[in-house]
């Protein structure tokens, strides 16, 4: 196991550079034939949708024409702020998925550009087309000020064999924001705007520049898989069961449940670490797993020369087998149970330290 993982090294530069560019891109205005856009300022949210979003703002009372919940958010560094990722939980059938004819060309959103796929798909597919509208509001006491309105056209195409229409899945979208306390209003609507579902979500983003005296991290999460994509998404998009961050596609392990023999793969960014004069970091992290108060695994300390950490941790433990007067060591998979991952971070340049814990389960 290496602290300076090849994954982290090839991620770091494109992540920081591409997200800096992403945060400066203006999002497209609402382009729909109905209702007609008035001349002048662009419309991001139609009046009939905005009225519904504003009506429940003070009480945070949702409207459930299309039922969904906003479960949580993550954030990762972006230029002059943070790239925030939001997780919605939705019953797939409520989005109106319907079979797609194999002979029918399917428009699919990829990497921020719209391409038409006319080739015959490998198997049956289903498609859902609807609107998503976002309203970001800065909170100041009990008052709020709308700072962003976003229109997200959604045209999702899935292989029928990989989606349970009667089940619930996580859907995600990302957006770059400055530090602050926010109230997010999300509306999902049918294309004709006759069905409108609205939910509200409060969240706070810290100021990365404020970490001068202490270390902290972005929310620590586990990943199932991570793959490189051709280019960063240059506008906000909705995805099922994964999110994108710069030039990577990440499938998170949201439930923090692992099968026996799987790796514990973590991802986070460290704020407040101090580089050397050569702009190199010297960060040491000790990882250990406990079951209650009992130590189950302790890995050798890992060193990192940058604050972006993507680290696979094999869930293997060394046990001592005694046979009479003899004993031997044996490596085994971590057995089923509930555990806590301990993360002890030390910045060797500044001397600052930080300890974090994350619970997980092996089944």
Q: Which residues contact 209 (CB under 8 A, 6 or more apart)?
A: none
Q: Residue 54's closest CA among 137, 128, 124, 122?
A: 137
Per-residue pLDDT tens for 15-68? Answer: 443 343 333 333 333 333 333 444 555 779 999 999 999 999 999 999 999 999
**Cβ(71)–Cβ(221) under 8 Å?**
no
Per-residue pLDDT tens for 287-344? Answer: 999 999 999 999 999 999 999 999 999 999 988 887 777 888 889 999 999 999 999 9
Residues 359 and 292 in one domain: yes
Distance CA 292, CA 339 (A): 7
Task: Return the CATH number at 117.
Answer: 2.60.40.10
**350 assigned to some structural domain:** yes
Residues 100 and 204 in one domain: yes
Q: What's the number of domains the chain is made of?
A: 2
Residues 176 and 111 in one domain: yes
Distance CA 256, CA 362 (A): 9
For residue 283, pLDDT beyond 50? yes
Residues 140 and 264 in one domain: no
Write down the pLDDT at residue 32.
33
Domain residues for the domain of 165 are: 17-210
**62 assigned to some structural domain:** yes
Residues 206 and 302 in one domain: no
Torsion, Cα 156 159 161 165, to 10 degrees, reads: 20
**84 assigned to some structural domain:** yes
Residues 40 and 168 in one domain: yes
- Mean predicted confidence (pLDDT) in 245-270: 96
Residues 32 and 164 in one domain: yes
Write down the pLDDT at residue 327.
81
**188 assigned to some structural domain:** yes
**270 assigned to some structural domain:** yes
**225 assigned to some structural domain:** no
For residue 129, pLDDT beyond 90? yes
- Mean predicted confidence (pLDDT) in 273-287: 95
Task: Return the CATH number at 333.
Answer: 2.60.40
**264 assigned to some structural domain:** yes
Residues 30 and 169 in one domain: yes
Residues 202 and 288 in one domain: no
Per-residue pLDDT tens for 94-110? Answer: 999 999 976 555 555 54
Distance CA 173, CA 183 (A): 16
Domain boundary residue, one of 210, 244, 274: 210
Q: What is the pTM for the complete model shown?
A: 0.85
Query: For residue 348, is the peptide bond before it cis, meaning its omega torsion is within 30 degrees of 0?
Result: no
**3 assigned to some structural domain:** no
Distance CA 182, CA 145 (A): 9
Question: Using DSSP, how many helices (H) and how many strands (E) does the chain show?
Answer: 2, 26
Residues 275 and 145 in one domain: no
Domain boundary residue, one of 210, 231, 247: 210
Write down the pLDDT at residue 118.
39
Q: Residue 238's closest CA among 52, 77, 112, 67?
A: 112
**Cβ(109)–Cβ(237) under 8 Å?**
yes
Beta bridge partners of 48: none
Write down the pLDDT at residue 324.
75
Residues 170 and 82 in one domain: yes
Q: Residue 339's closest CA among 285, 268, 288, 263?
A: 288
Domain boundary residue, one of 210, 238, 269: 210
End-to-end, the C-alpha distance of the chain in Å comes to 23
Residues 155 and 272 in one domain: no
Write down the pLDDT at residue 121.
54
């Amino acid at each position: 196991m290496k602290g300076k993982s090849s994954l982290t090294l090839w991620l770091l530069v494109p992540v920081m550079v591409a997200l800096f560019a992403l945060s400066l891109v203006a999002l497209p205005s609402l382009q729909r034939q109905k209702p007609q856009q008035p001349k002048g300022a662009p419309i991001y949210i139609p009046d009939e949708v905005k009225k519904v979003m504003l009506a429940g703002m003070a009480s945070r009372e949702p409207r459930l024409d299309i039922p969904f919940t906003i479960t949580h958010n993550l954030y990762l560094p972006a230029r002059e702020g943070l790239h925030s990722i939001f997780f919605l939980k939705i019953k797939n059938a409520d989005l109106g998925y319907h079979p797609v004819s194999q002979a029918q060309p399917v428009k699919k959103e990829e990497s921020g550009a719209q391409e038409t796929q006319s080739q015959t798909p490998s198997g049956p597919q289903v498609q859902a087309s609807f609107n998503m509208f976002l309203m970001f509001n800065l909170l100041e006491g009990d008052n709020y000020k709308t700072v962003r309105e976003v229109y997200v056209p959604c045209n999702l195409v899935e292989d029928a064999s990989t989606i349970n229409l009667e089940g619930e899945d996580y859907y995600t979208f990302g957006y770059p924001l400055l530090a602050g306390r926010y109230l997010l209003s999300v509306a999902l609507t049918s294309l004709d705007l006759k069905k409108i579902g609205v939910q509200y979500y409060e969240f706070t983003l810290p100021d990365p520049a404020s970490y001068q005296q202490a270390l902290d991290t972005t929310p620590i999460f586990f990943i199932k898989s991570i793959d490189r994509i051709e280019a960063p998404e240059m506008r906000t998009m909705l995805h099922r069961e994964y999110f994108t961050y710069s030039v990577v596609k990440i499938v998170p392990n949201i439930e923090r449940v692992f099968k026996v023999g799987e790796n514990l793969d973590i991802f986070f960014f460290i704020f407040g670490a101090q580089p050397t004069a050569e702009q190199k970091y010297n960060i040491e992290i000790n990882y250990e797993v406990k079951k209650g108060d009992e130590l189950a695994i302790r890995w050798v300390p890992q060193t990192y020369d940058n604050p972006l950490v993507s680290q696979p941790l094999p869930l293997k433990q060394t046990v001592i087998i005694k046979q009479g007067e003899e004993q031997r060591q044996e490596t085994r998979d971590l057995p089923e149970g509930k555990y806590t991952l301990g993360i002890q971070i030390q910045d060797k340049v500044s001397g600052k330290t930080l300890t974090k814990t994350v619970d997980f389960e092996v089944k």
